[in-house]
Structure 1
């Protein structure tokens, strides 16, 4: 397997990777804290939360398999060349583990806090069902052929699809309500910074290796960064330009929950 040609680029790569980890990991916390303070999840789109959880599970399967399975690594090198570096870093796995835990806890909050009539859409249920069925079919195809790298790549594809679909419901809910109240912008700011640093991290590896194979070898991570950046920009435009925040009653007040509930029911 190839090694780094430049010590400086390797250091930059690792630093950027852990910056992305910190930003993406902390990005889950503002929403969790907001839910706890309000004792309400009104304004947080449930489709966004559920699709995000499925996405993180699929990404965890990919990252852990490519980092720890010699068989998967060998099949990767057969496809992309034995002189290619693995496109997954330890910070990717650390992020995946943290993301699964936090997104799962957010679902727990949805189960115990005030929901204001919100519920999971049939479209989201359909997407999740198709993703699970698709994963099962891929497993059945991979087992007799021992195509393990192909299988984990399928999980990587699932996380990309979930990434694309998870942002639409929240952006649509903001559009219908003409407000981003109840949805933490701190989450988006950190998510955006994480996407930027993750994209630059992959570019550093490509420059060092004078190859684009790492971008195509982990196309899921590449698309994850690009899709995240695009939709974060959309959500930031909604929050700061289209639907700027207005001063309302204290966060824990019943008035806030009632007003937000009315907004949701009107959608």
Structure 2
């Protein structure tokens, strides 16, 4: 293994670790505060669907020979730039997001009192239902194509997988909006963990770096253009991360919360104990 190959693998596993860790600060913060107040269910709810789509996309691109063959036909014989760490990351993210969602839908089993924002908004319900309908339409189109159709020029199962990946892209574009609006209305980021954002930035940078490096090693940039989900995922997420960091450290830095995003519950608990004393 050459140095660049080693660097690509290192980037892949470090971004996987960083993004994977980014899913833990929010459920931990909720658990410490015994509340989901300050956040909405929209983010974990739609994120679960998004990572389910991303898992399907990665698993099939990584393991299905027929899909890989169709990809090669459209991309000068090159194979998809999906690695095993992409599969591991997507599976882990889906599970943790699903667990986080239960803190909103079933607060009693966590010992929480029901807080505002535990019902998905119409926007997120519309995105979820529209995504499922979109995939169903593309499947119908592919099934309607002639059996001997050339996958290079005709609809093929590869297009279904691309559609699934676009669900993840769509969800990435809209999933942060409700929380951004919620923070804006409250003029506060209390309850929203900044650590998930900081880890997400690191993961996004390394994800894109690995994708570009892999394309460089292949000598063909179809590794980027042929894998739009991974490339756009990192860029869009980081744009939102910058906005969240601006809210947390600049716009609402004097909202009275602890700015490491994790000490709120400890400080509040200390204040409560002093009041009792």
TM category (shorter chain) comes to 0.7 to 0.9
Alignment of 1:1-267 (within 5 A): 7-82=2-77, 84-113=78-107, 114-118=113-117, 119-145=119-145, 147-244=156-253, 245-247=255-257, 251=265
**Structure-1 separation of matches of 2:20 and 2:264:** 28
**Partners of 1:51 and 1:165 within 8 A in 2:** no
Query: Which one scores higher on RCO, CA 8 angstroms, separation ≥ 6?
Result: 1
**Partners of 2:39 and 2:179 within 8 A in 1:** yes
Q: Which residue of 1 aligns with 2:274?
A: none
Structure 1 residue 144: Cα displacement: 4.2
Structure 1 residue 247: Cα displacement: 4.6
**Partners of 2:12 and 2:210 within 8 A in 1:** yes
**Structure-2 separation of matches of 1:41 and 1:165:** 20
The list of structure 1 runs, each at least 4 consecutive aligned residues, that deviate by more than 4 angstroms after superposition, is 247-250
- The CA deviation string for residues 112-148 of structure 1, in whole angstroms up to 9 with x for no partner, is 2234232321121111111111122222222344722
TM-score normalised by length of structure 1? 0.88
**Structure-2 separation of matches of 1:199 and 1:72:** 23
Aligned partner of residue 28 in structure 1, secondary structure: coil
**Partners of 1:192 and 1:229 within 8 A in 2:** yes
Aligned-residue CA RMSD (Å): 2.1
Aligned partner of residue 41 in structure 1, secondary structure: coil
Structure 1, 128-137 or 54-63: larger mean CA deviation: 128-137
**Structure-2 separation of matches of 1:120 and 1:202:** 34
Seen in structure 2, the aligned counterparts of structure 1 residues 134 and 179 have a Cα distance that, compared at 3 Å, is same
Give the gaps of 5 or more residues in structure 1: 1-5, 257-267
Give the gaps of 5 or more residues in structure 2: 108-112, 148-155, 272-277
Give the number of the structure whose residues are more often helix, by fraction. 1
Structure 1 residue 33: Cα displacement: 0.6
Structure 1, 117-126 or 15-24: larger mean CA deviation: 117-126
Aligned partner of residue 176 in structure 2, secondary structure: helix
- The CA deviation string for residues 153-183 of structure 1, in whole angstroms up to 9 with x for no partner, is 1001110000000011111111111111111
**Partners of 1:47 and 1:124 within 8 A in 2:** yes
**Structure-2 separation of matches of 1:207 and 1:107:** 39
Structure number with bigger Rg? 2
Seen in structure 2, the aligned counterparts of structure 1 residues 157 and 81 have a Cα distance that, compared at 3 Å, is same
Aligned partner of residue 16 in structure 1, secondary structure: helix
**Structure-1 separation of matches of 2:207 and 2:187:** 31
TM-score normalised by length of structure 2? 0.85
